[in-house]
């Protein structure tokens, strides 16, 4: 078999937009498609190649659009199909591809499919996962749920439907019933919808929790962790026995590989072996995956609301494991931030006034010089920090509110939970995009409060600074576009146990890069004897100084060298 040419996304950078929080053009306090159109030059100016839109479909907005009631219409909050068509055309004019957020593990309970499915006599009854009460229990009473599974958003994963006397499965909100992918009619309807968007001009899909579409049957109780009211035994619902079959069927039905469409699958509980199987170019499945492993390393037994200090060697070695495991056999996504994660400069860096900019650049250096496709989440390119919320009333996120209530009801300390939310809540990433020192997001009251740092951390101020975070992102993206060693080079981790330094090499033929980063807010000595010789090296990029002396790195200093081979 001849060696395949690298896919186009091996040199691409993705910019993610959370439309609700990006830019409001119609003055209702909520971001919209027209607002995105107005700011496309900002994204193109960074050098990004792909624009990923979080869901813009018609939705009751129970989970900010991840509960879809019509896959083939735009929610009036965001605009119209005509607005979408204009956005697509304007993006393409700027060389930007546009990918849709595909949410097909579940729909809204207000989707026409589910409305029909509520009738036990309907042909669509089997489009969702309905089950009778547990044997020996009165339907609708505590403990009568068909299994002991918990919802990711708190409470049981089963909702009782009085009209039919049965329960439906919802791994997320009760307003997000899971589709029954075992039913071929469901799959055919999903593929038809995907083809409709491709025919309209969409360039691919980010697939939400796509490895949950194949469950393990028969559905059965799972193990319950101490102190938990429900089971979260992920193997019952993720990476099921028919997942590969479904992914290949989808690929062929939509022509994902044949049309070189961009695909990334968000994967709950996905290890390197799974990712290799799902993204190998020997098969027609996915282009790449999102893994959660590296963004779970700072979580304690209580999950996101139980944060722990991150041990740098753990992060370095986890990412290195993925680099080595997928090299030449699969492809990975590179991310620290998205709409579900807190701000990386607050989580992994130092968001103080003194070190915010340097640490934002250091983190970007580490991420963008791994192999894979990097993702930049709106605001990350200016070093946005966490929201700084201190009361539960400030939060809008259904996950935060549901988990907070469940854990308080179980006896957890509300203040400790609030501290956890302050560090890890999804709303940290969802505060409106600060375009100017005054805000610039909307003329109305924003749907979520602006970040208090807006007067100093905003697009205009950062863009006016030749040493700003966004200027540095442009340099990193330029390196990826221009250097095959960044796109395709082998990754080798150096100093794996060092708790201060992140060092690695990238090698492609005669080209070799050395990356050394001080990941602390203190001076860090560099063990030169354990690194490649830099005597004849050329300094390609640095976030602080231009000196060649590598003996000591300043706080959050990053250096990228081209080595002589």
58 near 68, Cβ under 8 Å? Answer: yes
549 is catalytic: no
Partners of 156 in the beta sheet? 150
Give 413: exposed, middle or buried? Use CB within 10 Å, 0-12, 13-18, 19+. exposed
Helices 243-254 and 184-200: angle between axes, nearest 10 degrees = 40
561 near 536, Cβ under 8 Å? Answer: no
- Please give the backbone phi and psi of residue 160, each rounded to the nearest 5 degrees, phi first: -80, 135
- Residue 105, helix vs strand vs coil: coil
State how far the Cα of 73 lies from the Cα of 75, in Å rounded to an integer.
7
358 near 351, Cβ under 8 Å? Answer: no
- Residue 470, helix vs strand vs coil: helix
131 near 215, Cβ under 8 Å? Answer: no
User: 475 in the Ramachandran plot: left (φ > 0), alpha (ψ -120 to 50) or beta?
Assistant: alpha
- Residue 49, helix vs strand vs coil: coil
208 is catalytic: yes
158 near 147, Cβ under 8 Å? Answer: yes
How many helices (H) and strands (E) the chain has is answered by: 15, 22
Q: Which of 266, 340, 350, 351 is labelled catalytic?
A: 266
555 near 520, Cβ under 8 Å? Answer: yes
485 near 513, Cβ under 8 Å? Answer: yes
State how far the Cα of 396 lies from the Cα of 356, in Å rounded to an integer.
26
List Cα–Cα distances, 8 to 205, 255, 516, 518, in angstroms: 15, 16, 28, 32
Q: Which of 67, 208, 298, 337 is labelled catalytic?
A: 208
State how far the Cα of 245 lies from the Cα of 517, in Å rounded to an integer.
42
| Cβ neighbours for 113, distance < 8 A, ≥ 6 positions apart | 107, 124, 127, 128, 179, 189
Which residue do the tokens 């909520």 mark?
30
**Catalytic annotation, residues:** 208, 266
């Amino acid at each position: 078999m001849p060696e395949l040419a690298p896919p186009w996304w091996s040199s691409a950078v993705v910019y993610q937009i959370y439309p609700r929080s990006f830019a409001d053009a119609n003055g209702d306090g909520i971001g919209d498609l027209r607002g995105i159109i107005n700011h496309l030059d900002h994204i193109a100016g960074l050098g990004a190649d792909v624009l990923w839109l979080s869901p813009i479909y018609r939705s009751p907005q129970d989970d900010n659009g991840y509960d879809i009631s019509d896959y083939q219409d735009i929610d009036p909050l965001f605009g119209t199909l005509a607005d979408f068509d204009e956005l697509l055309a304007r993006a393409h004019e700027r060389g930007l591809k546009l990918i849709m957020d595909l949410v097909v593990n579940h729909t809204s309970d207000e989707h026409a499919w589910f409305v029909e499915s509520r009738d036990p006599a309907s042909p669509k009854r089997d489009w969702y996962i309905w089950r009778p009460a547990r044997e020996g229990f009165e339907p609708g009473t505590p403990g009568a749920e068909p299994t002991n599974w918990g919802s990711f958003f708190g409470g049981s994963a089963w909702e009782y439907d009085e009209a039919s006397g049965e329960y439906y499965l919802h791994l997320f909100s009760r307003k997000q019933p899971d589709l029954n992918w075992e039913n071929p009619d469901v799959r055919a309807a999903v593929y038809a919808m995907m083809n409709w968007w491709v025919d309209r001009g969409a360039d691919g899909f980010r697939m939400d929790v796509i490895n949950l579409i194949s469950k393990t049957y028969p559905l059965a109780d799972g193990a319950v962790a101490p102190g938990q009211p429900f089971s979260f035994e992920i193997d019952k619902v993720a990476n099921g026995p028919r997942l590969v079959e479904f992914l290949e069927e989808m690929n062929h039905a939509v022509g994902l590989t044949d049309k070189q469409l961009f695909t990334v699958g968000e994967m709950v509980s996905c290890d390197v072996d799974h990712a290799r199987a799902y993204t190998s170019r020997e098969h027609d499945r996915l282009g790449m995956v999102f893994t959660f492993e590296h963004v779970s390393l700072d979580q304690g037994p209580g999950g996101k609301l139980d944060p722990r200090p991150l041990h740098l060697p753990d992060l370095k070695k986890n990412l290195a494991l993925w680099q080595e495991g997928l090299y030449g056999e699969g492809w990975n996504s590179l991310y620290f931030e998205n709409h579900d994660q807190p701000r990386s400069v607050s989580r992994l860096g130092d968001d103080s006034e003194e070190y915010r900019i340097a640490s934002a650049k250091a983190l970007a250096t580490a991420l963008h010089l791994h192999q894979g496709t990097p993702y930049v989440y709106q605001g990350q390119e200016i070093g946005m920090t966490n929201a700084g919320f201190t009361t539960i009333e400030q939060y809008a996120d259904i996950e935060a509110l549901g988990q907070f209530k469940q854990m308080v009801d179980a006896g957890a300390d509300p203040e400790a939970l609030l501290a956890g939310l302050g560090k890890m809540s999804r709303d940290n990433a969802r505060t409106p995009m600060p375009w100017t020192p005054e805000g610039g997001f909307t003329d109305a009251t924003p749907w979520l409060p602006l970040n208090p740092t807006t007067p100093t951390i905003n697009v205009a101020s950062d863009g006016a600074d030749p040493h700003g975070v966004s200027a540095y992102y442009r340099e990193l993206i330029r390196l990826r576009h221009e250097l095959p060693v960044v796109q395709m080079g082998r990754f080798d981790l150096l100093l794996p146990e060092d708790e201060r330094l992140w060092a690695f090499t990238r090698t492609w033929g005669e080209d070799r890069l050395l990356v050394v980063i001080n990941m602390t807010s203190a001076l860090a000595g560099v063990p030169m004897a354990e690194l490649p010789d830099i005597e004849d090296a050329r300094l390609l990029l640095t976030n602080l100084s231009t000196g060649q002396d590598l003996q000591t790195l300043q706080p959050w200093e990053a250096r990228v060298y081209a080595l002589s081979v």
